[in-house]
Structure 1
Amino acid sequence: MIPNDTIVALATPSGAGAIAVIRISGKQAIAIASQVFKSVRNKDLTKQKSHTLHLGHIIDPSTDSGQEKTLDQVLVAVFKGPNSYSGEDTVEISCHGSTFIQQQIIQLLLRKGCRMAQAGEFTLRSFLNGKMDLSQAEAVADLIASDNEASHQIAMQQMRGGFSNELAKLREELLNFASLIELELDFAEEDVEFADRSQFVDLLKRIEFVLKRLIDSFAVGNVIKNGIPVAIVGEPNVGKSTLLNALLNEERAIVSDIAGTTRDTIEDELVINGIGFRFIDTAGIRETKDYVESIGIQKTFEKIEQAQVVLFLVDSSQLTIEKIEDLKVEIERIKNKYPQKTLLVLFNKKDLMSADLITALETQVEHSLFISAKNKEGIEELKNALLSFVNTGALRNNETIITNTRHYDSLLKALEEIQKVQWGMQQNLSSDLMAIDIRQALYYFGEITGEVTNDELLGNIFANFCIGK
């Protein structure tokens, strides 16, 4: 049900600033705004064209003294539905950014008949009024939350409808075939076929291919959206904190010659070529009787479990050619314990290494780099190596990438139903049995775009939005 009341909220971040924007949306938006707005040219706001700006003052006509009170000089933008963000009549008041002024204007509008907007209610109304589908609405929240170029690009692509357009086309074709198969059921006694089975098989193969591609993209999209977790691990005093500081180009972690200085994990983020990486400096791994340090070491193993990339740092000044075999055993132990993790071995303090040792390590240890964290040597090579672990080809090719867990779940369920239909075609199952699976696949397609929805689902989605959007 589309709400018919008028809502108001602060559209800019709360707190003081140069300018604040207060947004009103609903059937009475322009009428309510006109009651408190006095144009410098005596314009009637209700008679102005859509997408126009007007300079004037916000006036409180109902003060205790009985005299009008000017709250602020403002710029008012008028957008008439359906050609507005929410699809309704919308007014945006740009006022000075004093928190006192913001609250005074909002309270005045509430007294005139507005209601405070709930989280995401402007975007919810946009969805209910057909201005965007549900996946596009969710992309709005992702766009607001994007903090690097890659996540911004994915959110923009989804907000423009790239994802939903692709699904809508497949859903329409599947719906057409479903209609023909349903029609066959009405003429079951005549034993006729309205749906071309060979074309239907081809369609199912195309849908399966697209669904698998979208599902596979989630692995990339999820880490791009949330940042790629990278754990820096190794024995105490090998230079893990120094490496973190070198990567971030700031003194983020305490560095000392005392083993066990880092007793808790330290995390910070870095954007490399538009991709977000979340680096975790962990406590050194060793046998210890220190209770506090042992807790830090336990947390190290927990962070390795959460990481996608593990940087295993080795102090090369303590390494000899004779010890390489022992090192290889340790590397294999880590690989076997965390087989799903990408492991990169970093030989630190390369400035203290002999040429023979470097040559021996290059030939015997795969996926390794030589760096000097203290002198910041090899840091750019390390960043390039980290980027190589991320499949950014899809971004460059502007392919659709899934980042939303809800979409991922619905795609998996839709694929399962499509594969059931394919199996049914191979087994020559009756049309009525296949129709059940086709309807279920259509249901999951519709769940993504919002053609199938309920109040609980919408409540869960839009509760994560900020107020004013």
Structure 2
Amino acid sequence: MIPNDSIIALATPSGAGAIAVIRISGSDAIAATTPFFKSIHGKKLVEQKSHTIVLGHIVEGKQTLDEVLVSIFKAPNSYTGENVVEISCHGSPYIQQQIIQLFLRNGCRMADAGEFTLRAFLNGKMDLSQAEAVADLIASDNAASHQIAIQQMRGGFSNEIKNLREELLNFASLIELELDFAEEDVEFANRNDFKALIDKIQKVLKRLIDSFAVGNVIKNGIPVAIVGEPNVGKSTLLNALLNEERALVSEIAGTTRDTIEDEISIGGIGFRFIDTAGIRETEDVIEGMGIKRTFEKIGKSEVTLYLFDASAVISAPNEQVNSGLKAKDLLLEIKKIKNKYPQKPLVLVANKIDRLSEEEISNLESQFRIPFEEVSNRSTRQSDLVLLSAKTGQGVEELQSRLLQFVNTGALRNNETIVTNTRHYNALLKALEEIDKVQLGIDEELPSDLMAIDVREALYHLGEITGQVTNDELLGNIFANFCIGK
């Protein structure tokens, strides 16, 4: 049910600023504003064309609250599809509240979270997936998440789902028609064409479902765990990546006893770096709990950086580097991680190379590449080993470049649809499950009435994504996560 009362809210962030924008929406929004607005040039708001701006004052009786600009958007050509007034006032919190309270006392009510966008959805200005993209766009903090949200808000994902649903609906109508003539044993839906359509839908759904693996981490930031023995420079590396003193750095081993997380954007992609407690045998209960969390973070990360002190390993005689205790123990620790998380990308990072000579640096990569390949079960790749100095910053940019190699940005460059929303992902999974049942029904030549049930279910789940099928509880859950002024 579409409400027709007028709602008001602050559309800009709360607090002091140069200006603030107060938004009013409803069939009576313009009429409700008129008694409290005095144009400098004597213009009447109700007589102004849509998408015009008028300079004047907000007044209450003889008291002037502020000099403002009032923007007029007339239905249906507005964000919500209703009459909308936006008051641009000075950014004093006092002025903001005085104006909002004035309209609350005179027929308006405070907007609920996301109610402006909810009204836009209810009035057909956007579908449900586009409405959800509005929240994603506001929350985007890097180029990749921004690009995905923009593409979805413009209807790229919606159009793909709508086209599939429309094609399936056409065949569903023919199958339903067959049920009306069951006694005549006629076939309106060509089974070969129907099978080709189902095959097409399966491929599209699988592609969209697979894209969620990339989209989800791009939207939420790609988690990268920084692990290794104590005092190898993990916290220093975190600070170097973030370009700030985020983690406490000390020469004392075991300084980091819990995980420290922060996020930055590299090449337009958000990465969430996790500095973990050093992995070692310890009798310290608190440090032991930190080490346990380290392995938990490795399990939740998309990429693991295993950091080691290159100067400590290379300080041994050359014959010991290949077969000695330090190198052997290091590779055993890496092997433990690879055995526990075989599918997780792991980058071996040699830190503190500023302490090495040029000859030692040139030898380090060749000394560790072969044994590292053996424990990681991977072919020789340049990205398996990175040499750097977290202290001086040498090699940090190279590490950032290597991290970008683990992200599939091809879909972004090609403007392909990428699914980032868990609700959409679950609906796609359910739709594919029903489509697979339809495929089985065609192969086994099942009766039309049985296939019709599965087709209806597939249509239902596709309709859930765009809002063609919805309920009040679903809408409440979605728009509760919006900010008040949107």
- Same fold, TM-score > 0.5, yes or no: yes
Alignment of 1:57 onto 2:64? no
Residue of structure 1 equivalent to 2:44: 44
1:341 counterpart = 2:354: no
In the TM superposition, what are the counterparts of 1:430-469 in structure 2 within 5 Å? 430-469=447-486
Deviation digits for residues 60-102 of structure 1 (CA, Å, limit 9, x no counterpart): 12xxxxxx11000000000001100000000000000001100
Structure 1: distance between partners of 2:162 and 2:205: 13
- 1:269 lines up with 2:272 in the alignment: no
Match of 2:376 in 1: none
- The alignment yields a C-alpha RMSD, in angstroms, of 1.1
Aligned partners of 2:30 and 2:85 also within 8 Å: yes
2:10 is matched with which residue?
10
Deviation at 1:296, TM superposition (A): 2.0
Match of 1:400 in 2: 417
| Pairing 1:362–2:374 present | no
- Per the alignment, residue 115 of structure 2 pairs with 121
* Alpha-carbon distance in structure 1 between the residues aligned to 2:423 and 2:414: 24
CA contact (8 A) 1:17 1:96 kept: yes
1:377-399 CA distance string (max 9 Å, x none): 21111101100001000000000
Matches within 5 A, 1:261-300: 261-300=255-294
- Summarize the alignment of residues 302-321 of structure 1 with structure 2, pairs less than 5 Å apart: 302-319=296-313, 320-321=321-322
Q: Where do 5+ consecutive residues of structure 1 fail to align? A: 62-67
Mapping of 1:401-416 within 5 angstroms?
401-416=418-433
Q: CA deviation at 1:361?
A: 1.3
Q: Provide the secondary structure at the position in 2 that maps to 1:78.
A: strand
Within 1, Cα distance between the matches of 2:422 and 2:261? 24
The DSSP-based 3-state class of the residue aligned with 1:232 is strand
Q: 1:294 to 1:188 in 2, by over 3 A?
A: same
Q: Secondary structure of the residue that 1:365 maps to in structure 2?
A: helix
Which consecutive unaligned segments of at least 5 residues does structure 2 have? 314-320, 374-383
Match of 2:377 in 1: none
Aligned partner of residue 205 in structure 1, secondary structure: helix
1:146 and 2:140 are equivalent in the alignment: yes
User: Which whole-Å CA distance do the structure 2 matches of 1:129 and 1:252 have between them?
Assistant: 47
* Alignment-derived partner of residue 379 in structure 2: none
Give the distance between the partners of 1:128 and 1:209, measured in 2 at CA. 32
- SS of 2:273's partner is strand
Greater mean deviation of Cα atoms: 344-353 or 380-389: 344-353
SS at match of 1:303: helix
Q: 2:437 is matched by which residue type in structure 1?
A: K
SS class of match (2:262): strand
Output aligned runs, 1:163-202, within 5 Å: 163-202=157-196
Q: Tell me, yes or no, if the aligned pair for 1:321 and 1:357 is still in contact at 8 Å.
A: no
Task: Tell me, in whole angstroms, the C-alpha distance in 1 between the residues paired with 2:285 and 2:332.
Answer: 28
Q: Verify the 8 A CA contact 2:11 2:20 in the aligned structure 1.
A: yes
How far did residue 301 of structure 1 move?
Answer: 2.0
What letter matches 1:321 in structure 2?
A: N
Q: 1:402, 1:408 within 8 Å by CA — same for their partners in 2?
A: yes
Amino acid at match of 1:257: E
SS of structure 1 residue aligned to 2:393 = coil
The residue number in structure 1 matching 2:218 is 224
Query: Mean Cα displacement is larger for which, 331-340 or 48-57?
Result: 331-340
Range moving further from structure 2, 459-468 or 259-268: 259-268
Q: Does the 8 A contact of 2:222 with 2:302 survive in 1?
A: yes
Q: Aligned pair 1:87/2:81, yes or no?
A: yes
Distance 1:287 1:13 in 2: 49
Q: Letter of the aligned partner of 1:346 in structure 2? A: V
* SS of 2:87 mapped into structure 1: strand
Question: Which residue pairs with 1:331 in the alignment?
Answer: 334
Deviation at 1:295, TM superposition (A): 2.4
Q: Helix, strand or coil for the counterpart of 2:430?
A: helix
Q: 1:2–1:128: 8 Å Cα contact kept in structure 2?
A: yes
Task: Write out per-residue CA displacement over residues 30-83 of structure 1, whole angstroms, 9 at most, x where no aligned residue.
Answer: 00010110101111111111000000000112xxxxxx1100000000000110
Deviates most, 390-399 or 255-264: 255-264
What is the CA distance between 1:206 and its match in structure 2?
0.7
Q: What letter corresponds to residue 280 of structure 2 in structure 1? A: R
C-alpha contact 2:179 2:449 (8 A) present in aligned 1: yes
Q: Is the 8 A contact 1:269 1:277 kept in 2?
A: yes
Distance in 2 (alpha carbons) for counterparts of 1:29 and 1:375: 60
Corresponding residue number in structure 1 for 2:323:
322
**Corresponding residue for 2:317?**
none
Q: TM-score, normalised by structure 2?
A: 0.93
* 1:328–1:365 contact (8 Å) kept in structure 2: yes
Amino acid of the residue matched to residue 330 of structure 2?
Answer: L
Q: TM-score, normalised by structure 1?
A: 0.97
CA distance in 1, matches of 2:286, 2:445: 66
Q: 1:296 to 1:330 in 2, by over 3 A?
A: closer
Contact 2:365–2:385 at 8 Å: present in 1 too?
A: no
